Structure 1
């Protein structure tokens, strides 16, 4: 479906779109450039223009393909139906970390993945201000900043020492809010993250033990999930099943450097939810 040379061609498209639609607005947004799609869910003119440009260029690059983008789905949820269809699908988050982008922080990225029938084939994670680019090709490994990417080894994967990152407990599924406390009580170094795509880059390059993910929007995760898998990592839903792009996963799901790390985190969270109610 896609070759190493074509990985670079798509990377160039993503870089070009950032140069045209995203970076000129970085730290230059007006109030009228920002709107709210919902509580704590902003969108900017840069998000919308970048997604439109990516749709135009990616479907031209691969005729017959379609785009499932965050902004299109926010206007028409039926766009998600393409994930289980027969056509190649570009899964696009034009700006992952929009709140950071609005605040003038460079911790944002453009995420693109290519899938067919729910199976990931290739991905790109580009953080333009940080100067980072991660690419993955199914069955052929991952690269970050031009070098082969590999998750961190662990002497005891059941007791990881590198940070485990997650979203703030207010975003956790009902009944699992005690999971963060339980992980810390098990001596895991748990920290909150602000930009999902960048966290996947960090996990794929060995500076994280794992991520605990409490939501399943495919545009936030598709690129990173393939990047981590091709860097030797492991991903599973809370019930141990594979993570499905189309949703319906048992949350939270875990991406980690080792299968035993995933299993350990799953056990801690599941037991915390089944325990006695807090007084």
Structure 2
């Protein structure tokens, strides 16, 4: 996926996209926001580590969205984060599926569970693993960034009928770049080398939320996002939206991103020149096999 946009691929009609957004908004109003900052300890569970949490909001919102999607698209493959944590077999069907929906019902679950407003709902449509539609919804602000392959990325505020086309940043030299690096997700033997590299950038951090990291990149507020331990519900929509906004997105080894890929490093940047400079800086990561994501949410580190 590059900053040279292909011809539009419209797998969804305007009415279908609106229906999907309305479904996501209903799930947020019904299952997510009523629980925000109101969760009891019994409503929060640990899946693999203390950082890998799941709440009633995650489970209930995903089930509601999945049911609604299947009513609209009965033949589609549904890949929800919480369902996959119970049965990862569905991941093997992505590459061969003509239409797959990925759902991250509450991306940034740790933030959500701790009362931080940095969380969102991520949904994508894949065609044989290739992202062709992406949506990242902010339940707190009730706005969405969305787009389809070949079209622009837009931010929309449904209640105010506001729509604005987005553009990624102009990038620059390393010491001018602001971006997101998941230090804790890198192989143990690469973390020190990455930590030593970080001061060369203007600023790096991690929001522990792919939804808002993807939104920030598509809006041009940051210059790059590096991802590891790839999971389709975390990364497919953001990769597409960065491309729609004019950015350059590819695996760190230069290959094209496909959501069926669970091993490797995904690098998204404001443009191709900046992507290349970052690729050169991060090339030491390719000396060690990338972490493998098998469907458990610790791999994403964001929930």
Q: TM-score, normalised by structure 1?
A: 0.90
Q: Relative to 1, partners in 2 of residues 1:265 and 1:13: Cα closer, same or farther, differing over 3 Å?
A: same
Q: Tell me the CA shift for residue 63 of structure 1.
A: 2.5
Number of positions where the alignment pairs a residue of Structure 1 with one of Structure 2: 270
Aligned to 2:278: 265
Instruction: Write the distance in 2 (CA, Å) between the matches of 1:147 and 1:95.
Output: 25
Please give the alpha-carbon distance, in whole angstroms, between the structure 1 residues aligned to 2:192 and 2:255: 22
Q: 1:260 to 1:176 in 2, by over 3 A?
A: farther
| 8 Å Cα contact 1:107/1:130 also seen in 2 | no
Does residue 16 of structure 2 align to residue 6 of structure 1?
Answer: yes
Q: Paired residue for 1:237?
A: 251
Quickly say closer, same or farther: Cα 1:116–1:127, change in 2 above 3 A: same
Q: Secondary structure at the match of 1:164?
A: strand
Q: Secondary structure at the match of 1:120?
A: strand
1:277 is aligned to none
Q: Deviations over 1:19-77 (max 9, x none)?
A: 11111111111111111111121101110011111110011112211210100110001
Alpha-carbon shift at residue 130 of structure 1 (Å)? 3.3
* Cα distance, 1:175 vs structure 2: 3.4
Q: Deviations over 1:227-265 (max 9, x none)?
A: 1111111112221111221124433x2111011222211
Task: Identify if the C-alpha distance between structure 1 residues 133 and 107 changes in structure 2 by more than 3 Å, giving closer, same or farther.
Answer: same
TM-aligned CA distance change 1:187 to 1:170, over 3 Å: closer
Distance 2:262 2:145 in 1: 27
Aligned CA-pair RMSD: 1.8
Match of 1:183 among 170, 181, 197: 197
Counterparts of residues 188-203 of structure 1 (less than 5 Å): 188-203=202-217
Structure 1 position 269, deviation (Å): 1.9
Q: Are 2:108 and 1:97 equivalent residues in the alignment?
A: yes
CA distance in 1, matches of 2:198, 2:232: 28
The equivalent position to 2:140 in structure 1, one of 117, 124, 129, is 129
Unaligned runs of 5+ in 1: 275-279
Is residue 53 of structure 2 the alignment partner of residue 36 of structure 1? Answer: no
CA distance in 2, matches of 1:216, 1:160: 27
How far residue 14 of structure 1 moved from its aligned partner, in angstroms, is 0.4
Aligned with residue 165 of structure 2, among 141, 144, 148: 148
